[in-house]
Amino acid sequence: MPDQVSEVHPCGGSVNQVLPKWVCRVLLAGMFVVIPTAVNAASLVIETGAGLTRFYAQQGDTVEVAVSVDAEGEILTGVELFLSYDRRLFEAVDRSPEPGIQPAVGASLLGDILADSLLTPSDSLGLVHYAEASLTGGVVSGLLLELQLVVLGDWTGSSAITAFQDSSRHRLSVYTVSGSEGLTFQFKNTEPLLYANLPPVIMPPDTILIQEDSSALVDLREFASDSESPADLLTWEVVSADANISVKLKGSL
Ligand SMILES: [Ca+2]
Measure CA 199 to chain center.
Answer: 20
pLDDT in the model for residue 233: 74
Give yes or no: residues 122 and 36 share one domain.
Answer: yes
Higher per-residue confidence, 166 vs 18: 166
Residue 105 has pLDDT above 90, yes or no: yes
Specify whether 202 is located in the same domain as 192.
no
- What DSSP element (H or E) covers 26? helix 21-30
Q: What is the CATH number of the domain that holds 183?
A: 2.60.40.680
Q: Is the pLDDT of residue 11 over 50?
A: no
- On whether the CB atoms of residues 130 and 10 are closer than 8 A, the answer is no
* Cα distance between residue 236 and residue 251, in whole Å: 11
CA 49 – ligand 1 centroid, Å: 22
Strands 54-55 and 193-196: parallel
Distance from Cα 93 to the centre of ligand 1, integer Å:
9
Is the pLDDT confidence value at 136 over 60?
A: yes
Q: How far is the CA of 249 from the centre of ligand 1 (A)?
A: 55
Is the domain of 77 the same as that of 9? yes
Q: Which residue has the higher pLDDT, 75 or 10?
A: 75
Q: Are residues 179 and 242 in the same domain?
A: no
In the reported structure, the alpha carbon of residue 98 is separated from the centroid of ligand 1 by a whole-number distance in angstroms of 4
pLDDT at 197: 72
Q: Which of 44, 64, 51 has its CA nearest to residue 104? A: 64
User: Rounded to the nearest whole angstrom, what is the distance from the C-alpha of residue 83 to the centroid of ligand 1?
Assistant: 18
CA distance 11 to 13: 6
Examine the domain organization and report whether 72 and 138 are in the same domain: yes
Q: What is the pLDDT of residue 65?
A: 98
Tell me: the pLDDT tens digits for 24-68? 555 555 554 555 555 669 999 999 999 999 998 888 999 999 999
Which of 166, 196, 226 delimits the end of a domain? 196
Residue 86 pLDDT exceeds 80: yes
pTM summary value: 0.70
Distance 182 CA to ligand 1 centre (A): 32
Query: Cα(100) to centroid of ligand 1, in Å?
Result: 5
Give the rounded percent of residues in the chain with a pLDDT score beyond 70.
76
Shared-domain flag, residues 41 and 64: yes
Check whether residue 117 and residue 9 sit in a common domain.
yes
Tell me the average pLDDT across 151-179.
91
> 217 lies in which domain range?
198-253
Q: Tell me the per-residue pLDDT of 178-219, one tens digit each, with 9 for 90 and over.
A: 999 889 999 998 999 999 876 677 777 888 888 888 877 777
Mean pLDDT computed over every residue of the chain: 82
